[in-house]
Amino acid sequence: MTLRSERILVTGGSGFLGQHIVKLLQERTDYVKEIRVLDLKPFTKQLEYEDKVPLTSIVGSVTDCGLLEKACRKVSSVFHVAGLISFGTAPDIDAMFQINVNGTKKLIDACVECGVGRLVLCSTVDVVIGFDDIENGCEQTTEKPNKFLFPGYPETKYMQENMVLQTNGKQTVNGGKLATISLRANVMYGEGDHYYVANGIRSALSNKGTLVQVGNGKSLFQQCYAGNTAWAFICADKALKSKNSIGGQAFFVPDDTPLTSSFEFMRPFLESRDLKLSSYRIPFHVVYWPLVIFEFVLKLLSPLVRINFQTASCSVKYINMNLYFKRDKAHKLLGYSPLFSPSEAMKMSLNFYKHMKL
């Protein structure tokens, strides 16, 4: 019988992905004796599972050095999921830098000071996405684009990822070494999602029950069930635990959710609430270029007034590109394969979106 001897800290554990990670730490690990969650919100259990080990909720920010040292004390591994995403025509880039970059630097310092052995970062596929399609992207064939598609967020995540990976092998105060890995998460769906599919549902509700389709519907956009992304964190931690020589690397971790357009993907979730996709499609350029011009005007006005219009040209572009990646490297080095099949993921997600409160 394996001895439960390790404490795991999950930053951002109260959020969408964090809830799924906590669930799998409870259900699928035999070496964890305590889970700690550091989040701005107190941890409240949102998913169904048996509590096998105690959980400690620590309320605060990843920018609080004292709190980070308290949270990291006697911890074996940190899953760094906390972060700030700000989109729209005027994203809060300064705030994202403070949380995603400076907060991560402070977390690394706390890991070194407290003798933490492993750090698994939640990065994003956005760190390699510019204005060109990526088909069957892998770690060896993708790199930082000349210009990120989204302003602000990918840049801070790219800086964060580099910082974490360059820390791999750094000696800690207790004489050990910190092993690090970065997982580049896809856009996620599933229980607890109040942004991606949820926004599609809200948009349909605000338009007499119809979500208007933009683009020709032929783009292949990769989505991933949150439970499978969470499983990748467990696999990465176990791999680092048994062979820390794989540290210092980034991994794509998609699952087997069928590739389709973002709009077509949302169809079953809309229909579960008696909503629908529009029978017509607005051409991509009819929406995209007016938004580009509108954003240019907003930029001219920015010295006088800051207007953050949530529908940005980059978001319209994003869901009308071919964007999908391979998990071969994660399978080979981390032993990662999706825990949940597409049908299982769809069943659980349908039940959530059908009954979610908006």
List residues with catalytic annotation. 157
Beta bridge partners of 63: none
The DSSP result for 105-139, as a single string, is: HHHHHHHHHHT--EEEEEEEGGGG-SSS-EEEE-T
Q: Please name the residues in contact with 259: beta carbons below 8 A apart, sequence gap of 6 or more.
A: 220, 221, 222, 324
Distance, in Å, from the CA atom of 160 to the CA atom of 142, rounded to the nearest integer, reads 18
The sign of the CA dihedral 250, 255, 261, 265 is negative
Of 357, 271, 284, residue with least CA distance to 320: 284
Evaluate whether 275 touches 261 at the Cβ level (below 8 Å). no
Site of tokens 């669930």: 23
Neighbouring CB atoms inside 10 A of 306's CB total 11
Both tokens assigned to 31: 């070496």
Site of tokens 């999950």: 10
End-to-end CA distance of the chain: 45
Of 62, 89, 83, 99, residue with least CA distance to 17: 83
> What does the angle CA 68 – CA 70 – CA 71 come to, to the nearest 5 degrees?
65
3-state secondary structure 15-65: CHHHHHHHHHHHHHCCCEEEEEEEECCCCCCCCCCCCCCCEEEEECCCCCH
Backbone angles phi, psi at 77, to 5 degrees: -145, 145
